[in-house]
């Protein structure tokens, strides 16, 4: 169902959403109800970062009001209210279709609906703007698995989320300090010199032991590495569940290929799902249907980035095994570990001298000769 799609990061690959809603009597109302799948799909898609949508109003041939313009308008107005409540503020295309009869799917205008003069479903999808692939962004490769191959060494399998993975690149894996040079790259079983965004890759990082690699790591170029986060701020949506989200609650979240326990440190604010406006500061709890700004601290090492920087690395969702609450969200801000404080100056250096040489020169006797201290 929908939670399987969220846990599998299906929406993480989506640039736009296609909603298929039934216009059949009874089915439209059920899909838009409090527990309806159409409503839940809209909330989930928007929570995972989709901004554009196309709605196919199907089963226009059902019931006594077959191919009725009035039934289509009722469906369009009802679905529009749900999409706006879910946060889809941009213009949404609506197309009446009958999938069983093949009406208004790909070819010309349908004689059964002379009142409709808009595009077909295929034309509406083709009209969506093409997304830009982040080839010039810093390299990010999520690792799905790693294994040892005799005569080759450690082999990593994953996906290029942004940037370009090139032969000979010096990579650094996070969390952890493993680093190595890319010796070979394969995409769909073919050896290539470079791989771009959304390519599923198998590569050999030379000089890295397979024990140092694990699922959930992110590979980046050494000059622009990923950093393990100490905590992060997220827009968290409670899809469903009998419980409440409170400070101290520790759900399991799936972030790209990583699955970690994250403790909720602070409920910063309760948000309006439509425009992100703050409705309540520091709420006591979040319940099903609520959206909140939440600060989380991962209990295990985790590397994520804000959704605005790298969408795939800035999404999270509940795994299928978690039945208490279904959560989805996007990372807004990350907090990196604090650098260790500067060690105190040695005994021989004062606060204003910049080097041991200067400090030693300040203690040299006037005649330039060092004397052995007298024994007492």
Is the peptide bond prior to 175 cis by the omega test (within 30 degrees of 0)? yes
Q: Is 80 exposed, middle or buried (0-12, 13-18, 19+ CB in 10 A)?
A: middle
pLDDT digits (tens, 9 = 90+) for 317-352: 888 766 678 888 889 999 988 765 445 444 444 444
Question: What pLDDT is attached to residue 28?
Answer: 85
Q: Round to whole Å and give the CA distance between 81 and 73.
A: 12
Residues in the chain: 376
Kindly calculate the radius of gyration of the chain based on its CA atoms and give it in whole angstroms.
Answer: 28
DSSP 314: G
Q: Phi and psi for 371 in degrees, rounded to 5?
A: -120, 140
CB 43 within 8 A of CB 84: no
Chain centroid offset of residue 143 CA: 15
Q: Which residue ranges in the chain fall short of pLDDT 50?
A: 1-3, 6-11, 341-342, 344-356, 358-359, 362-364, 367-368, 370-376
Q: Round to whole Å and give the CA distance between 228 and 218.
A: 10
**Residue where the block lists tokens 């692939």:** 133
Question: What pLDDT is attached to residue 374?
Answer: 44
DSSP 299: S
Sheet holding 93-96, edge to edge: 16-22, 52-58, 93-96
Question: What pLDDT is attached to residue 13?
Answer: 61
Three-state DSSP state, 79: helix
CB 269 within 8 A of CB 283: yes
Question: What pLDDT is attached to residue 341?
Answer: 46
């Amino acid at each position: 169902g929908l939670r399987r799609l969220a846990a599998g990061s299906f929406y993480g690959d989506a640039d736009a959403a296609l909603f298929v809603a039934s216009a059949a009597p009874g089915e439209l109302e059920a899909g838009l109800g409090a527990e309806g799948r159409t409503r839940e799909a809209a909330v989930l898609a928007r929570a995972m970062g989709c901004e554009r949508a196309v709605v196919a109003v199907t089963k226009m041939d059902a019931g006594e009001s077959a191919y009725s313009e009035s039934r289509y308008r009722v469906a369009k107005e009802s679905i529009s209210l749900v999409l706006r409540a879910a946060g889809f503020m941009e213009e949404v295309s609506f197309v009446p279709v009958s999938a069983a009869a093949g009406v208004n799917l790909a070819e010309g205008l349908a004689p059964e609906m002379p009142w409709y003069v808009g595009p077909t479903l295929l034309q509406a999808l083709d009209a969506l703007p093409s997304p830009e692939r982040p080839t010039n962004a810093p390299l990010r490769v999520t690792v799905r698995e790693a294994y040892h191959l005799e005569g080759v060494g450690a082999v990593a399998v994953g996906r290029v989320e942004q940037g370009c993975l090139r032969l000979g690149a010096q990579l650094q894996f996070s969390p952890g300090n493993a680093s190595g040079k890319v010796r070979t790259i394969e995409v769909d079983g073919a050896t290539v010199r470079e791989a771009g965004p959304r390519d599923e890759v198998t590569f050999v990082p030379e000089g890295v032991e397979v024990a140092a690699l694990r699922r959930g790591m992110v590979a980046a170029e050494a000059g622009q590495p990923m950093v393990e986060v100490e905590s992060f701020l997220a827009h968290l949506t409670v899809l469903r569940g009998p419980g409440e989200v409170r400070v101290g609650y520790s759900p399991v979240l799936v972030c790209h290929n990583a699955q970690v326990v994250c403790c909720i440190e602070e409920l910063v604010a309760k948000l309006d799902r439509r425009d992100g406006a703050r409705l309540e500061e520091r709420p006591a709890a979040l319940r099903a249907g609520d959206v909140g700004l939440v600060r989380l601290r991962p209990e295990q090492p985790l590397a994520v980035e804000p959704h605005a920087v790298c969408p795939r690395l800035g999404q999270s969702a509940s795994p299928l095994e978690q039945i208490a609450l279904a959560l989805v969200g996007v990372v807004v801000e990350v907090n990196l570990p604090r650098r260790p404080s500067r060690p105190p100056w040695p005994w021989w250096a004062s606060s204003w001298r910049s080097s041991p040489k200067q400090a030693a020169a300040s203690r040299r006797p006037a005649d330039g000769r060092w004397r052995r201290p007298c024994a007492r």
